Structure formats: C-alpha cells, structure tokens
Amino acid sequence: MTYVVTEACINCKYMDCVEVCPVDCFYEGENMLVINPNECIDCGVCEPECPAEAILPDTEDGLEEWLEINTKFSETWPNITVKGTQPDDADDWKDKEGKKELLSENPGSGD
C-alpha cells in the first residue's frame, strides 16, 4: 500500500503536504505533485493536510492509473520538501473536475 496524489492536485499545488512528510517522498511537476510509492511509509499524515483532498490511499477503488502516474513521474521529477508559493489562481482550480488532460509531464523546479 501507498498513498497517491490524484487529479484534484492539478493546478493547485498548495503544497501543505510536503511539509509534513517524514520521508520527503513528494516530487514536483509543472502543475502537480506526486508521491514516490517506493519511498512512502504509509503514515497517512499528509492526507488530511491537503486542502484539495487530492491525496488518497491506493487501496481505494479506481486509483490504479494514478498509482502509475505517481510511480512514473516520481522517478524523473525533482524532490520537493518545502512549501513554495502557491499560484494566484489555485483556489479557482481547487474543486474543478476533469483536470486530468491538463496534467503536464514537465518537471517542476523542486528545492
């Protein structure tokens, strides 16, 4: 089991999650974060920190695709451990659905 970041994170990036992870296993893309499933210790402390409710345990149904996305991009995107500045329009995107097609494969800047 692991926790995964899902669609709700796209274009939000509040990054409250990265500050609490004890093993620093978040990785930054251009418009979302992912968790490295091989590094996550399943502690669950990040889940309630996410205002977008984007972090879920992979034991929930229908998350196979997001587990793949987290696994794939955590291998190439840079590690992020410190909360950055959230985009000005983050609140506008928070509750939008159907954002998956907006997912950018480009890496973020990390820290």
Q: Which of the ranges 10-18, 59-67, 70-78, 103-111 carries the binding residues for ligand SF4, by CB under 6 A?
A: 10-18
Residues 6+ apart with CB under 8 A from 49: 16, 17, 19, 20, 55
Q: In whole angstroms, how close is the CB of 101 to ligand SF4 at the nearest point?
A: 17
Asked if 34 interacts with ligand SF4 (CB under 6 A), we say: no
Q: Cα 76 to chain center, whole Å?
A: 14
In the block, which residue shows the tokens 């509040």?
14
Asked if 5 interacts with ligand SF4 (CB under 6 A), we say: yes
Among 7, 27, 31, 40, binds ligand SF4 (CB under 6 A): 40
Among 43, 59, 60, 91, binds ligand SF4 (CB under 6 A): 43
Q: What are the b/e assignments for 46-76, b being 16+ CB within 10 Å?
A: beeebebebbbebeeeebeebbebbbebbee
Among 1, 7, 19, 21, binds ligand SF4 (CB under 6 A): 21
Handedness of CA 26, 69, 105, 90 (dihedral sign): negative
- Which residues are near ligand SF4 by CB under 6 A? 3, 5, 9, 12-17, 20-21, 23, 25, 33, 35, 40-46, 50, 52, 54-55
